[in-house]
């Protein structure tokens, strides 16, 4: 599995924690930035992550900003992206099983590092359930035109 990470300045510390988790899980990842604490614009980091996941260069993406909201809104503008902003483990599991989310957005100012790690572990180890959910996800794709 290949995972790509991105954050703005509001998500840089949590992103670092998630890198430790991915290393622990033996999952290879790339980091699209940002790599500094200067104020940056989250769409600049959501876009390359979303484009690379949509192009199949990476299987899944994880975006972190202050709330996860800006990142998710930006990522969902890219065709083929289903980005879910999540702050609990149940939603993390559902976003994979039912919605086949291919990007997870987290808010560093919303979830603590331990909860975020549990969310990511759950999200990365849950498979899409297919069946009736595939029909619904196909209908989402039809909305993209
Ligand atoms: C940056 O201050 C903040 O707006 C950003 O990290 C994110 O929360 C936006 O949704």
Q: Whose CA is nearest to atom 9 of ligand 1?
A: 70
Distance, CA of 133 to CA of 95 (rounded, Å): 11
Ligand 1 pocket, Cβ-based, cut-off 6 angstroms: 8, 10, 42, 65-67, 69-70
Phi-psi region of 80 (alpha: psi -120 to 50; beta: other; left: phi over 0): left
Does 34 participate in catalysis according to the annotation? no
**Ligand 1 mutation target, pool 9, 33, 65, most atoms within 8 A of CB:** 65
pLDDT at 118: 98
In tens, the pLDDT along 59-106 reads: 999 999 999 999 999 999 999 999 999 999 999 999 999 999 999 999
Distance, CA of 29 to CA of 80 (rounded, Å): 20
pLDDT at 145 over 90: no
The torsion angle over the Cα atoms of residues 57, 9, 81 and 70, rounded to 10 degrees, is -170
Domain ranges of the chain: 2-143
**Residues 9, 34, 65, 83: which is the catalytic one?**
65
pLDDT at 103: 99
Q: Whose CA is nearest to atom 10 of ligand 1?
A: 70
Does 133 participate in catalysis according to the annotation? no
User: Which of 56, 67, 133 has its CA nearest to residue 94?
Assistant: 133
Regarding beta strands 28-31 and 103-107, do their DSSP bridges make them parallel or antiparallel, or are they unpaired? unpaired
Q: Whose CA is nearest to atom 3 of ligand 1?
A: 66
Distance, CA of 63 to CA of 46 (rounded, Å): 7
Whole-model pTM?
Answer: 0.98
Quickly name the fold that domain 2-143 has: Ribose 5-phosphate Isomerase B; Chain: A, (3.40.1400)
């Amino acid at each position: 599995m290949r995972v790509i990470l991105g954050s703005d300045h509001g998500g840089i510390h949590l992103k670092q924690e998630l890198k430790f988790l991915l290393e622990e899980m033996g999952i290879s990842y790339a980091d699209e930035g940002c790599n500094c604490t200067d104020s940056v614009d989250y769409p600049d980091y959501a876009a390359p992550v979303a484009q690379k996941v949509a192009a199949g260069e990476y299987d899944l993406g994880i975006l972190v900003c202050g709330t996860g909201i800006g990142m998710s809104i930006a990522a969902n503008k890219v065709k083929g992206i289903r980005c879910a902003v999540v702050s609990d483990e149940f939603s993390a599991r559902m976003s994979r099983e039912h919605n086949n989310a291919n990007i997870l957005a987290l808010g560093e100012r919303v979830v603590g590092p331990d909860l975020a790690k549990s969310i990511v572990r759950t999200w990365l180890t849950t498979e899409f359930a297919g069946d009736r959910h595939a029909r619904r996800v196909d209908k989402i794709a039809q909305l993209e035109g």
